[in-house]
Amino acid sequence: MRRLLKSLFGKKNNEEIITDDFCSYCNSTLPQKSKFNIFKCSSCNTLNFKPFNIDEIYLEEFISYGGSGAVFRSGDKAIKLVDKKDLTALKELNNEYEVYSSLKEIDKHLLPLEAFFENATYAGLITPYEKGGTLAQFIEKNGPMDFREGLELILQITDAVQCLYKNGFLYPDIKPQNILISSKGQIQLCDYGHVSSLSSDVDDNVDVSGTADFISPERLTGVKEDCRSSLYSIGLLIHYIFTARKLFNASSLQETAEKHLSNNAANLMQKELAHLPKSFIKLVERLTDSNQSLRLGSFPEFKGMIRKQLTVTPH
């Protein structure tokens, strides 16, 4: 899988790299130091990216920050890059590559990892570039999804999470930022850095940074997670898809996490999703009960109930 990069990229000349030292938005002088050639303007706080080469890979567009790294476009590929001095980020990147490489069955809704590369400074992953952006960006731009469209999206997301589960892995980081969506409404789940083996021991010191809005109560309390934990997160994602809002609003990740433990999300769905069919609301309640033992217990059963909703929903 560690394919020769020259088969994926064409070398570009260094002359193509932008050398302007002024902010492209306000024309202020940019700071001299940067990470990944991304300069934050001290005057207007906007990010300015200067394209650069890593060996034969030409990073021509900054897409987003992801965890401790950053994602760039290089032609029709996306490059996820981490600084090797950041040992946590490097560990997550290696885990991502190892998880995907070990999959015996790969669903079409999992983002393919085409190659791993590294040099003295950076390590990275190469994937196809999806210019449609993330589900978070889609919802921010378009607002709540149409009911039928949202149901079809939920099925795709569940297919991806279930595929990892069937391969013996738990995907604990279900959130809109980790779901890529094409212009045709097809999704791909990405970022396998926090994926863990279902057979691994429970970690009482799980870092919930960046995942608190859609995290399961079990992950917060150290209780063994299973498919019901993923379905809880999918339930909260469903709420987000049809309301364009996170269920729990708080000023910090810690406060958000505490709300998962002090509130039963299921008790809030009747009001939050009042514009949707009652039978569907009851389904979401069965996903988001704070008591793990009371939740729906399998991906196939859940998908069957979603398909049932589709049969009674007009095109």
Pairing of strands 77-83, 122-128: antiparallel
Identify the pLDDT of residue 83: 94
CA separation for the pair 175, 224 (Å, rounded) = 20
Residue 201, pLDDT score: 62
Q: How far apart are CA 300 and CA 304, in angstroms?
A: 6
According to CATH, where is 1.10.510.10 located in the chain?
Answer: 135-311
The domain made up of 25-128 is a member of CATH 3.20.20.60: no
Mean pLDDT of 212-236: 93
CATH for 135-311? 1.10.510.10
Q: Is the pLDDT score of 7 beyond 50?
A: no
CA 10 – CA 81 distance, rounded (Å):
19
Query: Locate tokens 């939050």: which residue?
Result: 272
Calculate Rg over the CA atoms of the chain: 21
Percentage, residues of the chain above pLDDT 90: 67
Q: What is the predicted pLDDT for the residue at 9?
A: 44
Token digits for 104? 């015996």
Predicted confidence at residue 314, as pLDDT, reads 73
Which pLDDT score, from 0 to 100, does residue 15 have? 30
Q: Rounded to an integer, what distance in angstroms lies between the CA atom of residue 148 and that of residue 313?
A: 7
Q: Is the pLDDT of residue 12 over 70?
A: no
pLDDT beyond 50 at 3? no
Q: What pLDDT does residue 18 have?
A: 38
- Of 48, 44, 21, 25, nearest in space to 35 by CA: 48
Q: How far apart are CA 165 and CA 171, in angstroms?
A: 8
CA-to-CA distance for 262 and 8, rounded, in angstroms?
Answer: 50
Q: Which of 12-26, 161-175, 218-232 has the lowest mean pLDDT?
A: 12-26
Q: Which residue has the higher pLDDT, 208 or 279?
A: 279
Confidence (pLDDT) at 203: 52
Which residue bears the tokens 């691994």? 200
> The tokens of 149 are what?
């469209």
Q: What is the pLDDT of residues 249-258, one digit of tens each?
A: 888 888 888 8
CB atoms within 10 A of CB 297: 14
Report the distance separating Cα 60 and Cα 49, nearest Å.
9
What integer best gives the mean pLDDT of the chain?
88
Lowest mean per-residue pLDDT among 72-86, 100-114, 193-207: 193-207
What pLDDT is stored for residue 6 in this prediction?
41
What pLDDT is stored for residue 14 in this prediction? 34
The model carries a pTM of 0.88
Predicted pLDDT at 143: 97
Return the pLDDT at 146.
Answer: 95
202 — pLDDT class (breaks 50, 70, 90): low
Q: What's the confidence (pLDDT) of residue 254?
A: 85
Q: Is the pLDDT of residue 1 over 70?
A: no
Residue 17 has pLDDT above 90, yes or no: no
Measured in degrees and rounded to the nearest 5, phi and psi for residue 102 equal -90, -5
Does position 151 have pLDDT exceeding 90, yes or no?
yes
83, burial (CB in 10 Å: exposed 0-12, middle 13-18, buried 19+): middle
The 3 state secondary structure assigned to the chain is: CCCCHHHCCCCCCHHHCCCCCECCCCCCECCCCCECCEEECCCCCCEEECCEEECCEEECEEEEEECCEEEEEECCEEEEEEECCCHHHHHHHHHHHHHHHHCCCCCCCECCCCEEEECCCEEEEEEECCCCCEHHHHHHHHCCCCHHHHHHHHHHHHHHHHHHHHCCEECCCCCHHHEEECCCCCEEECCCCCCEECCCCCCCCCCCCCCHHHCCHHHHHCCCCCHHHHHHHHHHHHHHHHHCCCCCCCCCHHHHHHHHHHCCHHHHHHHHCCCCCHHHHHHHHHHCCCCHHHCCCCHHHHHHHHHHHHHCCCC
Give CATH 3.30.200.20 domain extents, the chain: 25-128
What the block records as the tokens of 202 is 């429970």
> Which pLDDT belongs to residue 13?
37
Could you tell me which residue, 238 or 23, shows the higher pLDDT?
238
Cα gap 260→248, rounded to integer Å? 8
